[in-house]
Amino acid sequence: MVEAIANIFRVADLRSRILFTLAMLAIFRLGVFIPAPGVDRVALGDFFASASDNLFGMYNMFSGGALAQFSVFVLGIMPYISASIIMQLGQVVVPQIERLRAEGQAGRKKINQYTRYLTIGIAVIQSMAIAIGLEHTKTSSGAEVVLAAGWSFRLMTMITMTAGSCFVMWLGEQITDRGVGNGASLIITAGIIAGLPGAVVNMKNKLDIGEINLLETVLLAAFMFVVIMGIVFIERGQRRVPIQYAKRVVGRRIYGGQATHLPLKVNVSGVIPPIFASSMMMFPATVGTVYPHPLFETLSSQFMPGTWVYNLTYVGLIVFFAYFYTAVTFNPVDVADNLRKNGGYIPGIRPGKQTADYLDRILTRLTGGGSVYLSAVCILPTILTTMYGLPFFFGGTGLLIVVGVSLDTVAQIEGHLLTQHYDGLLGSGASRGRGRRKPIGSV
């Protein structure tokens, strides 16, 4: 392992990419502590001390603690993720977007541009919702959180947070293009990891005052370890479809004839469904904040983490996005056509439509199993942590994102090392068959 880590810094391009990624993440973490004006931070801290176990706590986790700090990066990367969801859904229902995707690189650049514009619009709406919500927020002692409520505070908050969200989006794109890993996922992961020390201290405080005992703490730690091991096992699992290439005679040379395989991950969609589902689950709370009507407030309260409505809806969204994202990123018809054009075939399966149907059946079963795995990892630990009053950092969603993104980043680093004839971080051939996952927001 020491030798593998040393190899990273021997490759100039990889070394510069890693240092660039760390620098961008450091800038993001620095921005989390830049306060936005107009809020009493002491009162806001008191409010979050009593509201850390509800939806505010989850949003604060995804923003890397920026919401509790009322930072300029309060919105973080979530508006960009929401815009990416809408644009990818648009590929199915809007023919114009589908035609842009078919145009290749130029069309994808146009879609990315529309995604950025949509990100700005979503950030404006969410920042206004946060401003209005803070104006109606009071601490348990009755203290006002906003110093001077009114349109001046709302406009100032909207401009500040929208600009901060656009800057975080730019940081994520720079990491994806010039660094290592998926920028948007790494920003979320960095925020979750940054909150882990505070979560551990909070858990220790609960242990000291007797809210939980030592045996429960040990069992929870053991359960989290088992969950992490399960995530690693499933994320590295593959279904290898055998591929045989026919021999071709070109001039005096014979090409093809070799046997290989098409690796399909057990969890094809990765950590994308939980991230997308978490982003969608924040909309009911946003609506309840902007429109303080009893109906919307009741709807918002039903979608608080830990309620059965929230859990069922969350699982449903995870299953939906697992199938949807797999369908967007993997087209069995295109794969079958490419195999046929290159003289490849699956033994026992006719090339063309039968190959596409065969791959589609395999992919449907893998996605079904993967969605069940994602739902179990995200819901079961969260139920346990809610029972014991622990922060969301110990929940399944946070663990899944951190472990999944870490594995993807390691896979990319291994790819760079192998292209330079070095062994990967996990040894020679450890990352064989592990392709680079499509970044969040790419279409």
Q: How far apart are CA 415 and CA 425, in angstroms?
A: 10
- Tokens (6 digits) for 26: 């450091």
- Tokens (6 digits) for 69: 């700090």
- Rounded to two decimals, the pTM is 0.75
Strand partners, 264: 239
**Domains of the chain (ranges, CATH numbers):** 2-419 (1.10.3370.10)
- Tokens (6 digits) for 421: 């004839």
Predicted pLDDT at 439: 44
Predicted pLDDT at 162: 92
Q: What does the DSSP assignment read for 358-418?
A: HHHHHHHHHHHHHHHHHHHHHHHHHHHHHHTT--GGGSHHHHHHHHHHHHHHHHHHHHHHH
Q: How far apart are CA 443 and CA 438, in angstroms?
A: 9
Nearest-10 crossing angle of helices 78-93, 272-281 = 100
Q: How far apart are CA 361 and CA 6, in angstroms?
A: 43
Note down pLDDT in tens along the chain; length 443 residues. 566 667 777 778 888 889 999 999 999 988 888 888 888 777 776 766 655 555 566 666 666 667 777 788 888 888 888 888 888 878 777 788 878 877 878 888 888 899 999 999 989 988 888 888 777 777 666 677 777 778 888 899 899 989 999 999 999 999 988 888 888 889 888 888 887 777 777 778 878 887 777 887 788 788 888 888 888 888 888 888 888 887 766 666 766 567 788 888 888 888 888 878 877 777 666 565 555 667 666 766 676 666 778 788 888 999 998 998 888 888 888 888 888 887 788 888 888 888 889 999 999 999 998 898 888 888 876 666 666 555 555 567 778 888 888 888 888 888 777 776 655 555 544 444 444 444 444 43
Q: How far apart are CA 289 and CA 296, in angstroms?
A: 8
Q: Under DSSP, is residue 250 helix (H, G, I), strand (E, B) or coil? A: strand
The number of helices, as runs of H, and strands, as runs of E, in the chain is 18, 5
Q: Under DSSP, is residue 182 helix (H, G, I), strand (E, B) or coil? A: coil
DSSP state of 392: G
Predicted pLDDT at 111: 87
The CB-side HSE value for 376 (13 A sphere, CA atoms) comes to: 13
| Residues contacting 278, CB < 8 A, separation 6+ | 58, 62, 314, 397
Q: How far apart are CA 443 and CA 437, in angstroms?
A: 12
Q: How far apart are CA 396 and CA 404, in angstroms?
A: 12
Q: What is the dihedral of CA 143, 147, 153, 159, to 10 degrees?
A: -90
Place of tokens 């918002």: 300
Predicted pLDDT at 438: 46
The sign of the dihedral angle between the CA atoms of 420, 173, 284, 316 is negative
CB of 293 closer than 8 Å to CB of 248:
no
Helix (H) or strand (E) holding 121: helix 105-135
| Residues contacting 114, CB < 8 A, separation 6+ | 87, 97
Q: How far apart are CA 309 and CA 380, in angstroms?
A: 15
Q: Under DSSP, is residue 260 helix (H, G, I), strand (E, B) or coil? A: strand
Q: How far apart are CA 443 and CA 80, in angstroms?
A: 13
- Distances 377 to 167, 232, 330 between C-alpha atoms, Å: 32, 12, 24
Q: How far apart are CA 79 and CA 362, in angstroms?
A: 34
